[in-house]
Structure 1
Amino acid sequence: MKMQSNNHFLLIKLLTLHYLLVLSASQDFDFFYLVQQWPGSYCDTNSSCCYPTTGKPKAEFGIHGLWPNWNNGSYPSDCDSSNPFDASEISDLMSQMESEWPTLSCPSNDGLKFWGHEWNKHGTCSESVLDQHEYFSTTLNLKTEINLLGALEDAGIHPNGSEYSLTSIRDAIKVASGYTPYIECNKDSSGNSQLYQIYLCVDSLGSCFIECPFVPGERCGASTKFPSF
């Protein structure tokens, strides 16, 4: 009788553990940041940039990454070392990757190091929703839904080295997307603030844009430069 009681107690513990593991897996993260960067601002810094072997990227916003985040502002990273980046998984996406997700770091290459970093650090933390191919294809598809440069230029904001108010930049993207972006700036080689990255938030399934549950502290002044490329 005691043996049956112990077995029953052990079964309850195992079922409870299984439930907690399933619950934990479903709460890996709360939303994504889709982060896109302006190449002119990446290159116009003291560290400069290098073009990939395919040549100078297009003068448009390029993907930086799709980053899982929690609602409190923290984020998971490097979640599964047993599933590293494998270029063969995205062989059918390679031409799109080179065009829409170009690398600008020095020394530049074919992008594999950049994409591998994004998968290993961020993508592995979304495995409960997206496998490796889906992670990259989803990001590419999300980028096509909103033309950031087109939205800015429609509002009279052009990459010509002029300064624009942060409010006008934010409003232009909100008009085009329906959602409020987070704007990140960096410093050019002379120390001036310039438009660098634009964050839009995506639901935890990677299926649609949402209003951001959390945004970092501002890194821009009231106005910022939009450099050419």
Structure 2
Amino acid sequence: MKFLETIVFMVLGIALSINIGGNMSCNAAGQYDYFQFVQESPFVFCKIMDGNGCNILPLPWIFTIHGLWPSNFTHRHEPCVGAQFSRDVMNEASNNELRADLELSWRSFISGRSNMDFWEYEYNTHGKCSDHKFSQMQYFDRARSLWKQYKAHTLFSNSSIEPGKSYRFTDLEQAIRSFIGGRRPLLLCEQSKRKKKTKQYLLEVVICFDDRAINPVNCPKRMSKECLPQSPVWYML
């Protein structure tokens, strides 16, 4: 059972990173142009996409971090050569405050996978690609800072967009754009067909940043999983 849960975790993570990046998520240290800061709706991931509720209750009514991914515009895919994630470093007493913040903002919602497992997977898959610029803990601290500044649920609320309703794609996109200098985010949806009707649910919000993960930049226009602009988008938390 443990082996099966591990396989499910890996498959979901790989599928989402490929869908979001459209082969733009870079796996070679130093060979990236920008960062994708990816936040996800726990409700949509657990109730709509995963389908089994993740067996974790209660689900937080916020967007949480899926990852901070070094990415490029040239579709390169090479093995990442950065240093592996260190649990010893993460567990150092000097990192207690950061680790406590990540327990809230960067949570695992897959049954049997701890937060530490999730952090390790994301870092080894994406984060270590930037270890020539950020140490392990600098990387996680940068992700925490971005989350505190650009919480998707807060950006929506500031534009009077509240969960539990459907909205026009353009209204959701503009709510994010207005707080990132007009730069283009990515809104990713999960399509759910029930009783012959298909609804799209906002699964993830991607905000792109420069190669220092400081200033927002336009996300490249792309491919699968992006919300359909002509259809209502359900915003659920």
What TM-score, normalized to structure 2?
Answer: 0.74
Note the alpha carbon deviations across 1:192-217, whole angstroms, 9 max, x for none.
210010111111122322233x2322
Distance 2:87 2:53 in 1: 24
Within 5 Å, which residues of 2 pair with 1:97-136?
97-107=102-112, 109-136=113-140
Q: Which structure has the greater CA radius of gyration?
A: 1
Query: Contact (CA 8 Å) 2:30, 2:132: kept in 1 or not?
Result: no
Structure 1 residue 65 corresponds to structure 2 residue 70: no
The ranges of structure 1 where at least 4 consecutive aligned residues each deviate by more than 6 angstroms after the TM superposition are none
Structure 1 residue 207 corresponds to structure 2 residue 214: yes
Distance 2:47 2:158 in 1: 24
Among candidates 19, 43, 47, match of residue 46 of structure 2: 43
Distance 2:86 2:221 in 1: 31
Distance 1:115 1:42 in 2: 17
**Long gaps (5+) in structure 1:** 1-24
**Long gaps (5+) in structure 2:** 1-27
- Evaluate the alpha carbon distance shift between residue 75 and residue 57 of structure 1 in structure 2; reply closer, same or farther with a 3 A threshold: farther
Note the alpha carbon deviations across 1:73-122, whole angstroms, 9 max, x for none.
x25565137x3221222231221111000111133x43111111100010
Q: Which amino acid aligns with 2:61?
A: A
Percent of aligned positions that are identical = 23
Distance 2:65 2:78 in 1: 18
Query: For the aligned residues, what is the CA RMSD?
Result: 2.3
Query: Contact (CA 8 Å) 1:77, 1:122: kept in 2 or not?
Result: no
Within 5 Å, which residues of 2 pair with 1:20-31?
27-31=30-34
Distance 2:63 2:78 in 1: 24
What TM-score, normalized to structure 1?
Answer: 0.77
Q: 2:222 maps to what in 1?
A: 216
Query: Contact (CA 8 Å) 1:69, 1:75: kept in 2 or not?
Result: no
